[in-house]
Structure 1
Amino acid sequence: MAAQTKLNITTDRSALLVLKARITSDPQNMIFINWSTTTPICNWVGVTCGARHHRVANLNLSYFGLTGTIPPELGNLSFLVNMDFSNNNFHGSIPATIFNLSALQKIDLSDNQLSEIPNEIGTLNHLEKLYVQDNALKGPIPMTIFNISSLTIVTFYGNNLNGIIPDNICQNLSNIQGLNLGANQFNGPLPSIFGQCKQLLRLDLEDNSLTGPIPYEIGYLPNLEEVGLSENNLNGHIPSSIVNISTIKGVDITVASPIPYEIGYLPNLEILALHQNNLNGHIPSSIFNISTITGLGLSFSQLLGSLPADIGLALPKLEKFYAGANHLSGVIPKSISNASELRSLDLGGLSLAAKSLGGLLCSYCPELNLKEWNNILKSDLWESSDKSINFFDRRKRLEMTTSNCYGWLKVSYNLKKKKEKRMLKEVGNDYFDDLLSSSFLQHRYGNDFIMHDLTNYLAKFVSGKFCVRLEDSASFQPRVEEALAFARSTSYGLHNIVYVEDALEVNIGEKKYLDGLSFFMKR
């Protein structure tokens, strides 16, 4: 028995030493130094052995920053239960021998550069969790995956997979809770028999090329909490059956249809994202009765009408509200300053914003309005947030806050996830070029940029006598002091920034997407 145990340990060690030999870069020296033949294998970093058989049961190399390939010899780790190679730079194909490890319950290969997954994956009868998002997989998805009845989570988000999603996808996935095939190149219709996935909690098929209507059967998922179908080529209507899903908390859909009034009856809805729809018509009043909602996104949807006067009172938990690039009119409701949880607001369109802010900032307004403006200035509403609305950790945005004469102006852009890995400076410069091409800024000379004349005229018109430049002559000192009494913030011009990258403040999201990029003028 002792000889057999020794042989097994030797087998596991040999397999891991082959893996070590396949590593071409180990910036933290996690493998090169620690995995030594003079040290017991169960003491190697990232290796955990089972108490009973003293064989390798867990292999966790996540975030080691390794570069290399996965050798077929890892198929000899016959007692391996969990394999986590996430957030490294492994490339090439996934060896078919890995899928001979019948004890495997979890495989996490996310955030690498792997290019192929073999059909043999369907032989893992005990596999529960499969994470292969953000790799370089291409071609059709192995259909054998959908025969693994033990699976609870499957995610292939952010690859280059294509083909049609099988209509019977749920036939053998009776335990599936999370299915994420977003940000690929799948085409064809949505599966029509989702109702067989009774345990499904989260469905994400966004950012593909799927066509046709959303099947009515989607309302047969009794436990569904999040559904993401945006950025496809879907048509028809948002099915009314969706209101049957009382558990649903997040809806992110792009489809050219009106917003169903019944959607306001969902008792637990927290996120409603209907960006870039050809919705037309008015926003259903029922939406503003959803007391549980924290994020509401209706941008780029051709909506008409005005916002309800009591929006700030009716939505007490609202944190993020986006309704820009529509045809909304009227004024920004005063009650919005009562939304104590509101952290990020984009209503876009000067017809709505200028009328409200201009009325409050007008230099000829009565004293009552000056007090009103002072109260709004003290609200947290205008505080810059380090994160914009983020639907299911996928939809990222850029915020730019300036304070030259109008600290209240915030310009937001919808950004697609960039699949290529690029330097932060390159991404930031691209965003700056977008602002320049939109006539928000204009070139001055050399590396200097200033606010565009048209934007500057608008700011001066709206802010009236409270607009001054701190660079002005000392003879204007009384005007400066008067303006500062009402100013939320002060700044010098953009020409004080020598390099664009000096002005970037960045947060990188869990999946390595750009989560937020705020561009501030130096004070």
Structure 2
Amino acid sequence: MKKVCFLFVMLVLVNVNVKGLTPTLDDDVLGLIVFKADLLDPDNKLASWNEEDDSPCKWVGVRCNPRSNRVSDLVLDGFGLSGKMGRGLMQLKFLNKLSLANNNLTGGIGVNLGQLSDLRVIDLSENSLSGSVPSGFFDQCGSLRSFSLAGNKFTGQVPDSLGKCSSLGAFNVSGNQFSGVLPLGVWALNGLRVLDVSDNFLEGEVPKEIGRLYNLREIKLRKNQFTGVVPDEIGACALLRSIDFSENSFSGSLPSTLQKLSLCNELDFHGNLLTGEVSEWIGEMGSLQTVDLSKNMFAGAVPSAIGNIRSLKVLNISGNGFSGSLPQSMVNCENIQSLDVSRNALTGFLPSWVFQLGLRSVSFSENKLSGSVFSAVSSSVANSHQNLQVFDVSHNELSGEIPSDIGKFSSLRLLNMSKNSLIGEIPETIGKLKALSTLDLSENQLNGSIPMEIGSAASLKDLILSRNLLSGSIPSSIGTCSSLTSLILSRNSLSGQVPVAMSKLADLQYVDLSFNKLTGALPKPLGNLAHLVSFNVSHNQLQGELPAGSFFNTISPSSVTGNPTLCGAAVNRSCPTVMPKPIVLNPNSTGTDPESIPQPLGRKKILLSISALIAIGAAAVIVIGIIFITVLNLRVRSTMSRSAAAVPLSGGDYSSSHTTDTNSGKLVMFSGEPDFSTGAHALLNKDCELGRGGFGAVYRTVLGDGRSVAIKKLTVSSLVKSQEDFEREVKKLGKIHHPNLVALEGYYWTPSLQLLIYEYVSGGNLYKHLHEGEEDGNRSSLTWNERFNIILGIAKSLAHLHHLNVIHYNLKSSNVLIDGLGEPKVADFGLARLLPMLDRYVLSSKIQSALGYMAPEFACKTVKITEKCDVYGFGVLLLEIVTGRRPVEYMEDDVVILCDMVRGALEEGRVDECIDERLQGKFPAEEAIPVMKLGLICTSQVPSNRPDMAEVINILGLIKCPSEGQEESG
């Protein structure tokens, strides 16, 4: 440590730069040792850096100029270093390249690297650096050629001084949190070859000055908040190879000047608000390999000139309004591997050339294709069967039988032909698809039985055959599909028993056999399935007792209803007990057993059967149990009352009071010193209960100062973390403040009782405003502007949470409160963090009341749970607000999923059926329709297709009429 201090003093002396003074240590050695002193080197990668050396040129990661023997390159990529960048770097006066990528560096750029006049390359990417870039950072960047801060946490604006970097060839600040507009000077850097600012919060328009970037090869603006049109001047950037403007809010049509970019191989504009047609000029871009125009508002026919692009590998035009049929000329795209034209209005037959080109992925879902699948598949070339991995033609108007040739597609992983009009039987050749992971043939008119060969599809994870005309029994061979997680066979005419072989499917999570004709008893070994989340056998003819097991002991009654002879607690029907035969005297016995000795006449011997003894014993146990539970309940109630009344007071910022008495706990209020004891009785007072949710009950109580608060009494005590972890997480939540979030004001802890103290919101929850009073017509009548304001407020609250890396997990209308001014306040955010682990089974069981809001990735272990789960729930909630309908509605013989209902109605032009009847004639269609479309985009089955909440806010701002927006803002 003394050596480091000495070296630091020497560094200060060197910086004084007294004329004629020659330092006793080499400047580069001194600078690097001081730089190392600010770092942590867990893998000892810098062991060769020794302050006793006269030169650093042989140190690992260091390269010197052979002429001057001064350090020219410092490259420490992936060394696992942490700590901060210190001033030691400023001693490397002849440094040309600084690369510290893929480490764990923190802090900001505390040194002005721009003063190193010879520096040409700066790469600080993939660290955890934060803060803003100083405004004058680029004042002396005349030699800088390449600059990267990608994958960090920088905020603020990109400095205007960047425009002074006249020699800059590559600029990459992607994956940060930069905001504002890019400096106009950026568009004058005519030496720029690579410009990557993707994944930030940048805004504004792309100016026509982009045409000055004559040397530009790659421009990536993905996932920002850019608006306006794509300027015609982009066609002047003749050397462009890659254009990525995706996930912004660009509008207007694509400029025809793009056809001048003959060298361009990537064109990505997905996730914008682009309109118009894609004209024949696209065929002039003969070098294109990837074209992604998905999730826009393009219309018209797919241009036939696209067949001129022989190099095309990926074409994605999904989620638009393209019509007509795909051009036959596309048979010339001999290198194409992926084709996604889903969610358009395409018509005509399924083109046979799709199977002749050897594609790997094909999606025609949600169009209006008709005709037979059989003819298209059977006419394909034999050697093309080996490549196809994804084939999705769901939600069309296809007819005919599924061809047996489907079994030749040996690499197929996903086969989705659901929601068509297919007939006939499921071909036995399905069993030849050894790689198949998902098979969805639901909502067709398939008949016959499920082929026994299905068991040969060993990789199958999801088998969905619901809503067909299938008969026969469930094949026992299903037990060999060892990877199966979802088995959905509902609404068919399946008969026979549920096969015992199903109990071998250890990974099984979702089972739906409802609305069939299944008989017999459920196999007892099913109770051993440890990962079950849902098991629906309602509306069959099952009988006997439910299997024993942790899942079946708490199964929802709705999952077993409609089976008249099924018994067990879930159906509220006791099972008949098989009574053993009683012990009786044997009149022919000659033994000497006392019970075999005849009794005298007139004397009766009382004999108890085994069953009677068992019944008496059971009754005794029950009576004792009732007495024990009653006594225990009285003691607990008494303890809780004393605990609530004895809560010690504390005030100040995160102050607390500790007691060791088991009848008292620890109360922490984040501000103020309220008299809490006056509200303690409310914890056990049903009259003060406001509601109950997956994590606990909420009560209203009044503090000594007259202020009302809401207290959530957690009912997950057995799952809550330790006190230390609990308090750490709650304090994090207490620091989150936003006008549209319910503020957490404090907490109370004992090992058996945990309370969260929230601000009280007087207007009730959104669920009550939307749904309560439906039967008598006394529901609250929210205007369109009020609903839009609620949607926008919820979006802002979620964007704020996501900015802080907090996932809500439990978004639903009952967790959105309305204050006295009609503003929404989202409650219950982040409570899942109080559980010991974010386990999907625990989460889904705790928030199962959010049925319909939960994203589909909760059903898939392999998909990461991210903020996009909240986006899905927001999309459902948005549709609920607009339509006034619940996310899932159970009819007499059907289940209506809100997302599906809205999507179908919009596609068929039945907009009025989607809008809440209380708004009929009182809503602007030009706002309501885009809002519903936004909700459908947010509820995409694929998480990556959902927008971020920041994008949602931007889109909502564009949807709202400007004149009304001005009035409201005034």
Q: TM-score, normalised by structure 1?
A: 0.71
Contact 1:470 1:492 in 2 (8 A): no
Change in CA separation of 1:276 and 1:457 when aligned onto 2, cut-off 3 Å: closer
SS of the equivalent of 1:117 reads coil
- Deviation, structure 1 residue 378: 6.6
Matched, 1:461 2:454: no
Distance 2:288 2:228 in 1: 25
Q: Which sections of structure 1, spanning at least 5 residues, go unmatched?
A: 361-368, 386-405, 412-450, 484-488, 507-515, 518-523
Distance 1:113 1:8 in 2: 36
SS of the equivalent of 1:227 reads strand
Matched, 1:72 2:72: no
SS of the equivalent of 1:303 reads strand
Change in CA separation of 1:6 and 1:88 when aligned onto 2, cut-off 3 Å: farther
Contact 1:268 1:292 in 2 (8 A): yes
Instruction: Give the partner amino acid of 1:334.
Output: S
- Deviation, structure 1 residue 468: 4.8
Change in CA separation of 1:151 and 1:335 when aligned onto 2, cut-off 3 Å: same
Contact 1:307 1:332 in 2 (8 A): no
Change in CA separation of 1:140 and 1:262 when aligned onto 2, cut-off 3 Å: same
- Deviation, structure 1 residue 261: 2.3
Quote the residue 1:246 is aligned against. 262
Distance 1:259 1:275 in 2: 12
Over the matched positions of the two proteins, sequence identity in percent amounts to 26
Instruction: Identify the structure with bigger relative contact order (alpha carbons < 8 Å, sequence gap 6+).
Output: 1
Distance 2:59 2:247 in 1: 45
Instruction: Give the partner amino acid of 2:138.
Output: I
Quote the residue 2:78 is aligned against. 63
Of 48, 58, 74, 1:34 maps to: 48
Distance 2:207 2:139 in 1: 20
Matched, 1:470 2:455: yes
Contact 1:299 1:325 in 2 (8 A): yes
Distance 2:302 2:449 in 1: 33
- Deviation, structure 1 residue 410: 5.0
SS of the equivalent of 2:33 reads helix
Of 348, 355, 360, 1:343 maps to: 360
Change in CA separation of 1:378 and 1:178 when aligned onto 2, cut-off 3 Å: closer
Distance 1:236 1:251 in 2: 16
Distance 2:454 2:70 in 1: 72
SS of the equivalent of 1:170 reads helix
Distance 1:128 1:149 in 2: 9
Quote the residue 2:506 is aligned against. 496
- Deviation, structure 1 residue 117: 2.0
Matched, 1:175 2:191: yes
- Deviation, structure 1 residue 323: 1.7
Change in CA separation of 1:298 and 1:283 when aligned onto 2, cut-off 3 Å: same
Matched, 1:307 2:322: no
Contact 2:292 2:316 in 1 (8 A): yes
* Larger deviation, residues 182-191 vs 82-91: 182-191
Of 301, 324, 332, 1:282 maps to: 301
SS of the equivalent of 1:219 reads helix
- Deviation, structure 1 residue 34: 2.9
Distance 1:5 1:338 in 2: 79
Instruction: Give the partner amino acid of 2:317.
Output: L
Instruction: Give the partner amino acid of 1:345.
Output: V
Contact 1:324 1:349 in 2 (8 A): yes
SS of the equivalent of 1:53 reads coil
* Larger deviation, residues 48-57 vs 251-260: 251-260
Distance 2:313 2:51 in 1: 55
Residue deviations 1:29-66, cap 9 Å, x none? 212x3323345522221111111111111101101121
Q: TM-score, normalised by structure 2?
A: 0.40
Matched, 1:262 2:285: no
Instruction: Give the partner amino acid of 2:264.
Output: I
Change in CA separation of 1:277 and 1:34 when aligned onto 2, cut-off 3 Å: same
Contact 1:135 1:159 in 2 (8 A): yes
Q: CA RMSD in A?
A: 3.9
Contact 1:96 1:120 in 2 (8 A): no
Contact 2:148 2:173 in 1 (8 A): yes
Contact 2:352 2:379 in 1 (8 A): no
Instruction: Give the partner amino acid of 2:349.
Output: V
Matched, 1:149 2:166: yes
Quote the residue 2:178 is aligned against. 161
Contact 1:258 1:281 in 2 (8 A): yes
Distance 1:204 1:221 in 2: 14
Report the structure number with the largest CA radius of gyration. 2
Distance 1:407 1:467 in 2: 19
Change in CA separation of 1:280 and 1:96 when aligned onto 2, cut-off 3 Å: same
Distance 1:471 1:55 in 2: 67
- Deviation, structure 1 residue 459: 8.1
Distance 1:121 1:190 in 2: 22
Instruction: Give the partner amino acid of 2:48.
Output: N
Distance 1:163 1:304 in 2: 38
Q: Which sections of structure 2, spanning at least 5 residues, go unmatched?
A: 1-19, 392-410, 417-436, 458-471, 486-504, 509-530, 532-839, 841-858, 865-941, 944-970
SS of the equivalent of 1:122 reads coil
Quote the residue 2:106 is aligned against. 91
Contact 1:167 1:192 in 2 (8 A): no
- Deviation, structure 1 residue 169: 2.8
Distance 2:353 2:365 in 1: 18
Change in CA separation of 1:88 and 1:463 when aligned onto 2, cut-off 3 Å: farther
Contact 2:163 2:184 in 1 (8 A): no
- Deviation, structure 1 residue 203: 1.3
- Deviation, structure 1 residue 206: 1.9
* Larger deviation, residues 103-112 vs 329-338: 329-338
Quote the residue 1:330 is aligned against. 348
